[in-house]
Structure 1
């Protein structure tokens, strides 16, 4: 992935998410309630993601039965090799936290529709728990990386040629995390499971699957509940709930397509001992793109945000001209469409 592409994604992410912060703070409907702060949390998270991703310069590759995530330590780098390893660790922790981010959103959205569930699990101090779910997931993800995927001599030997081929430096000049899933016996050509790698990746799969169960489970419940409430709640409140729901659906589909599916392929290839290098470059590109496009559903679907965005960027003169033209047209039409005035009625 080129640095120019990553820079463009970072700039777009910062501009769109910063503007979304302004919209959330100043243009959120009153019915938004506490959900406004959960939206702010996600938007600020994506700003931080983009700001961290660019200078970190993380590279991900899979080769044979191993995967490796690393950054090159330049001679004039301000960071030592050990410090650089922690940069890679923090990057993986941020990625892990993103896996659980939208699970919190769907839990709250269902709580806002189902009052009984909301009172039990998302009201009062329990609302704050939703902010800690991604943090806990990120810490757990980082712990897995530190314990099971930390550099070791076996990985050095296995990936030495790959690193030299891809970036032209020796294994001693990078900081990485990674693991190989099989130990190959050179004498008889048999493979045996590398238990630390499987223990680590099993925990990661558990976090990802749990997040997806929350997203799809509570998403389905939200849809069913909204369908039942169409004729019960007020049209304004119902319309806003629908807007938030479909925004959340699209904001979840984006990381599903750009992150969950690519990372699944990225992990499955070495687990199946497939050397599929395209997955590596695909993962890096889609992860960089994610924070740049994720704000778009909010601009397009939430009516108050959409109107504020159009009003902010459409030329004022054009708006005034259109408004005057519309008023003239309405007055002209009313002359023909309203045949009688009060005076006419009295004359009759």
Structure 2
């Protein structure tokens, strides 16, 4: 790709990121309104978890907007970069913000694990459910935050810029982005190094970072799958033991949560895993990695939609809102048409 093509690709990438961020704030704010004002009475403490995830996604979009990161890989090196020439912050602050952005990535899946645990506790009538109605809910909500802190700390300490990585990508970054390494902040992985004798070696501290991140993803996803499956079967068992309304609500919440969980898996974890894999094999994907920056920013914009359209109370409110707008528009059009017809039949009225 030519330098002008890369510049154009950067503009498209950042434009799509900012559009997604704006949509995320609007849609998540609307969902919070629905949760507070239109939730079924039987939703209980779960509405606080729903508000928690919407607030998290709004904050994620804000951090994405402020940091404006982009992914790039070259050979075995994978970098997440901030262009300091376009940033409001100096290099140390930009690096801290970039690692915070990374921490949000680690928190995203862990949040859904807590949601699935709650749904299972509801389905089984567990005594632990009461902890979500007391101050102990803070302990539950702290688990995803802890995962995010660990992920962000790994980026800060294990994937910090190194002299070897900086020199390895210096010329390539200059050729592709017309940026000196002093003009960017980055954290990244460089799986292989070369010693003074030209012998290649594995950078084990970065492998440790990958192992930690893999544990976070695996444990979060495993928790969601395990409790999701158990909840599904438990709801089916209870179908004939609870009211139809309660059974339908539990099913709606579970299906909504399943779709919500699939969105970050598809838009975040799969693209990044592909990029990691190619870098680990020593085949950097270059500027095409920017697709990951776009899809990650799309996650908080799309994630509220399943809740809005699967939960019946919310869906009905949205449909009624559009029906009212449509009816009002049609009424105004009909009135204008009748007035135009009267004017054609009585042209003298125009002179009044």
User: TM bucket by the smaller chain?
Assistant: 0.7 to 0.9
Is 1:142 aligned with 2:152?
A: yes
**Cα deviation, residue 142, structure 1:** 1.4
What residue in structure 2 maps to residue 221 of structure 1?
230
What residue in structure 2 maps to residue 62 of structure 1?
73
In 2, Cα distance between equivalents of 1:103 and 1:44: 17
**Cα deviation, residue 49, structure 1:** 1.2
What residue in structure 1 maps to residue 343 of structure 2?
none
Paired residues of 2:28 and 2:57 also in contact (CA < 8 A): yes
Listed as ranges, the matches of 1:106-117 within 5 Å are 106-116=116-126
What residue in structure 2 maps to residue 345 of structure 1?
none
In 1, Cα distance between equivalents of 2:131 and 2:275: 35
**Cα deviation, residue 214, structure 1:** 0.4
Is 1:39 aligned with 2:50?
A: yes
What residue in structure 1 maps to residue 339 of structure 2?
none
Q: 1:87 to 1:119 in 2, by over 3 A?
A: closer
In 2, Cα distance between equivalents of 1:228 and 1:293: 32
In 2, Cα distance between equivalents of 1:180 and 1:30: 52
Q: 1:81 to 1:278 in 2, by over 3 A?
A: closer
Is 1:21 aligned with 2:26?
A: no
**Cα deviation, residue 165, structure 1:** 2.8
Deviation string, structure 1 residues 207-248 (Cα, Å, up to 9, x no partner) = 010001101111111111111111111111111000000000
Corresponding pairs, count: 320
Paired residue for 1:246, among 246, 250, 255? 255
**Cα deviation, residue 318, structure 1:** 2.5
SS of equivalent residue, structure 2 residue 188: strand
SS of equivalent residue, structure 1 residue 216: helix
In 2, Cα distance between equivalents of 1:192 and 1:120: 53
**Cα deviation, residue 196, structure 1:** 0.9
Paired residue for 1:176, among 164, 186, 208? 186
**Cα deviation, residue 317, structure 1:** 7.4
What residue in structure 2 maps to residue 334 of structure 1?
none
Instruction: Tell which deviates more after alignment, 212-221 or 190-199.
Output: 190-199
In 1, Cα distance between equivalents of 2:109 and 2:291: 18
In 2, Cα distance between equivalents of 1:6 and 1:279: 15
Listed as ranges, the matches of 1:1-348 within 5 Å are 1=10, 2=12, 3-74=14-85, 78-116=88-126, 118-119=128-129, 124-185=134-195, 187=197, 190-277=199-286, 280-315=289-324, 318=327
Q: 1:121 to 1:270 in 2, by over 3 A?
A: farther
In 1, Cα distance between equivalents of 2:59 and 2:326: 37
Instruction: Tell which deviates more after alignment, 90-99 or 123-132.
Output: 123-132
**Cα deviation, residue 70, structure 1:** 1.2
Deviation string, structure 1 residues 149-169 (Cα, Å, up to 9, x no partner) = 111211111111232133211
In 2, Cα distance between equivalents of 1:276 and 1:62: 6
- Structure 1: any 5+ residue segments left out of the alignment? 323-348
What TM-score do the two structures reach when normalised by structure 1?
0.86
Deviation string, structure 1 residues 79-136 (Cα, Å, up to 9, x no partner) = 2211111111111111111131111111111111112363487564443322111110
Paired residues of 1:262 and 1:279 also in contact (CA < 8 A): no
In 2, Cα distance between equivalents of 1:230 and 1:279: 48
In 1, Cα distance between equivalents of 2:124 and 2:155: 38
**Cα deviation, residue 18, structure 1:** 1.0
Q: 1:317 to 1:143 in 2, by over 3 A?
A: closer
SS of equivalent residue, structure 1 residue 233: coil
**Cα deviation, residue 140, structure 1:** 0.7
Q: 1:109 to 1:120 in 2, by over 3 A?
A: same
